[in-house]
Amino acid sequence: MERIPILKMGPVLLVSIQVDMHDQLALTLQDDLTARIVKTHARGVLIDISSLEVVDSFIGRTLGNMAAMSKVLDAETVVVGMRPAVAITLVELGMSLSGVRTALNVERAMEMLQVATADGHATAGEGPDGRHPD
Amino acid sequence: MSTDGAGGLAELLDRHEKDLLAAWIDSQLRSVTGRRDLISEAELREQSRQLLRLVRDAAVLGGTEDIQGAQWAPVREMLGAVSASRARLGFTPSETAAFVFSLKEPLFALLRQQLGTDARAIGDETWKATVLVDRLGLYTTEVYQTSREDVIARQHEEMLELSTPVVQLWDSILGLPLIGTLDSARTQVVMESLLQRIVDTGARIAIIDITGVPTVDTLVAQHLLKTVAAARLMGADCIISGIRPQIAQTVVHLGLDLSTVVTKATLADAFAVALQRVGLSVVRSPVPR
Amino acid sequence: MVVTRTEKLPVETSEDIVRVRQVVRAWAVGLGFSLVDQTKIVTAASELARNTVVYGGGGTVELESLGDGKRRGLRLTFGDHGPGIADLEQALKDGFTTGTGLGLGLGGARRLSNEFEIRSQPGAGTTVRIARWT
């Protein structure tokens, strides 16, 4: 079965979603990610969605779930590279993903995660955090 | 001289076109309402010559009763072109219509001259002539209105785009001064411009200044919050500045929830906060002499 | 208003949802929609397709490209013979759901479209029609 690959870069797990996921693939990703966080003691998760042209409410919820689950496992998640058209549409759809931290690009996200992982806690830096996703 | 029906007027136009043209141009040049500042004599002569020729052709072919008919199409087209071009030059609708109505004086003079002794014929043909010129003049006014409406629509669109400029205040800090009301169409334009600038500049903070937004009601607040949410999804936080005292009161009275967003009274305050957030500070240095 | 082209697709599985997104995207591109408008209608289609699969027990979608002389339009009609929706007003309110979803589907699809129409009877299935114009 196809899976979205999860790469390990030090204490950070990198998930790059490059395909238009069907529902099962998204659910499998959620499972794989949580298992990987536990196995690698990851402190940060970076989800790169810069290739996604469409994020509907299901994918949006999946992103929110992944961030929440990671947090429970003491890892901080940053969603990276949302496209303008996708952001506008998601907001119109009614999803603001307020429990999810976001960054424009991978460099920025790594900075945020380094601050997060450096001080031994999963929370740090600016922006809304610690809130439950939609 | 035959005066039966349209043949009379049409025939006169046919036989005396040259003299009529000369008389018409002469009366236009003498007129005080001619707007000679907006149009040159050469152009005036040419427009008059063309119009009279087309009117003559149409009248000879199709009579003078129905200017909506096929034979009058070239005249309508020409009037449309004249009307549109004069609108662009700045003529008022009356001034443009006056161009057409000014044909009456020389036309009536011609009729009196040619039909001299026949009072009944003069009456009939003068009536036909006045009805014809009135219709042509009114048509000119209608076309003018339509073309003005097109200009207004286009200007509205351009204004919509111009009124949502996104400026880069500093590295990582964008400013978006909103002027005017924020409806859903405008919000779309605002969101698209802002998000694109965020991508282009890698900005981390966007200051949305609403000093120029006259009223903030529930809908406007929703539009603002949508914009803030969209920017946040792209990794940029927003600060809303320019909150006038009346707006602060309205927000509270309407029970609007702006708790998810940082708000500041002035752009300057917002900028100070933004600098702090991105880890910059302003330092006093000696002024070079 | 003239219908210039139509196509019908099955909406039975979650792979079909992905296919619907792809086909709607291709049609939207062909009709010259802006990127944001493309994203909006594809996302709306995804929401409605998912509803059809998850709540409607599977169904179909009909795509129609429209023209009225000045503008071009894309109309999508989703139909199923599922249980139907008893309280439409409630269903259109965001956050309402009977299943595992979060109920943003119908309300979201409406907000993302220029035209929205729904007909549903308990026991007689549901038909949702949306359209977007250039």
How far apart are the C-alpha atoms of B139 and B149, rounded to whole Å?
16
Please indicate if any CB of chain A lies within 8 Å of the CB of B260: yes
Q: Are A104 and B198 inside 8 Å of each other by CB? A: yes
How far apart are the C-alpha atoms of C95 and C107, rounded to whole Å?
9
**Is C103 within 8 Å of C97 (Cβ atoms)?**
yes
SS3 A120: coil
* CA-CA-CA-CA torsion sign (B59, B64, B67, B68): negative
Give every residue of chain B whose pLDDT is below 70, as ranges: 1-7, 32-34, 161-163
Domain at B167-277: CATH code: 3.30.750.24
Task: Provide the residue type at B24 as one letter.
Answer: W
pLDDT digits (tens, 9 = 90+) for C38-90: 999 999 999 999 999 998 899 999 999 998 777 899 999 999 998 888 777 77
- Of C121, C93, B237, B43, which Cα lies nearest the Cα of A94? C93
3-class SS shares of chain A: helix, strand, coil, % to 5: 45, 15, 40
Kindly tell me if the per-residue pLDDT of A120 is higher than 60. no
Contacts of A111 in chain B (CB under 8 A): none
**What is the number of other CB atoms lying within 10 angstroms of the CB of residue B15?**
14
Contacts of C25 in chain A (CB under 8 A): 53-54
Q: Which residues pair with C78 in a beta bridge?
A: C61, C128
pTM of the predicted structure, to 2 decimals: 0.70
* Residue of chain A with shortest Cα separation from C37: A85
Query: In chain B, which ranges are E strands?
Result: 167-170, 173-179, 205-212, 237-241, 262-263
Please give the mean pLDDT across all residues of chain A.
86
Contacts of A58 in chain C (CB under 8 A): 46, 50, 101
Please indicate if any CB of chain A lies within 8 Å of the CB of B217: no
pLDDT at C1: 79
**Is A37 within 8 Å of A73 (Cβ atoms)?**
yes
**Is B89 within 8 Å of B39 (Cβ atoms)?**
yes
Please indicate if any CB of chain A lies within 8 Å of the CB of C105: yes
Q: Are C40 and A94 inside 8 Å of each other by CB? A: no
**Is A90 within 8 Å of A60 (Cβ atoms)?**
yes
How far apart are the C-alpha atoms of A96 and C113, rounded to whole Å?
19
pLDDT digits (tens, 9 = 90+) for B98-153: 889 999 999 999 888 888 788 888 888 899 999 999 999 999 988 888 777 877 88
Give residue C130's pLDDT band: very low, low, confident or very high (50, 70, 90). very high
How many A-B residue pairs are in contact by the CB < 8 A criterion? Answer: 59
Q: What is the CATH number of the domain that holds C78?
A: 3.30.565.10
Please indicate if any CB of chain B lies within 8 Å of the CB of A107: no
Out of B191, B235, B277, the one facing A88 most closely (by C-beta) is B191
Please give the mean pLDDT across all residues of chain C.
88
Out of C14, C39, C104, the one facing A22 most closely (by C-beta) is C14
Q: How far is C94 from chain A (nearest CA, A)?
A: 8
What is the DSSP secondary-structure string of B46-77? HHHHHHHHHHHHHHHHH-SS-TTSGGGHHHHH
Contacts of C46 in chain A (CB under 8 A): 54, 56, 58
- Of B14, B12, B45, which Cα lies nearest the Cα of B28? B45
Give residue C124's pLDDT band: very low, low, confident or very high (50, 70, 90). confident
Out of B188, B196, B235, the one facing A104 most closely (by C-beta) is B235
Contacts of C111 in chain A (CB under 8 A): 92-94
Query: What is the token pair recorded at A107?
Result: 């460099």
Specify the DSSP class assigned to residue A133.
Answer: P
Q: CATH number of B6-158: 3.90.1170.50, 3.40.50.1000, 1.10.490.10, 3.40.50.2300?
A: 1.10.490.10
How far apart are the C-alpha atoms of C110 and C132, rounded to whole Å?
11
Neighbours, chain A (3 or more CB pairs < 8 A): B, C
Mean pLDDT of A97-116: 89
Q: How far is C37 from chain A (nearest CA, A)?
A: 8
The answer for residues whose C-beta is within 8 angstroms of residue A106's C-beta and 6 or more apart is A46, A48, A80, A81
Residue A33 Cα distances to A42, B2, B20, angstroms:
10, 100, 91
Q: CATH number of A6-118: 3.80.10.10, 3.40.50.2020, 1.10.8.10, 3.30.750.24?
A: 3.30.750.24
The region that residue A42 occupies, defined by phi over 0 for left and psi between -120 and 50 for alpha, beta otherwise, is beta
How far apart are the C-alpha atoms of B1 and B110, rounded to whole Å?
14
**Is C66 within 8 Å of C75 (Cβ atoms)?**
yes
Q: Tell me: ipTM over 0.90.
A: no
Q: Which residues from A are below 8 Å from C when comparing CB atoms?
A: 20-24, 53-58, 61, 84-86, 88-89, 92-95, 134
Q: How far is A96 from chain B (nearest CA, A)?
A: 6
* CA-CA-CA-CA torsion sign (C132, A97, B259, B207): negative
| Extents of the domains making up chain B | 6-158, 167-277
Give residue C103's pLDDT band: very low, low, confident or very high (50, 70, 90). low
Give residue A124's pLDDT band: very low, low, confident or very high (50, 70, 90). very low
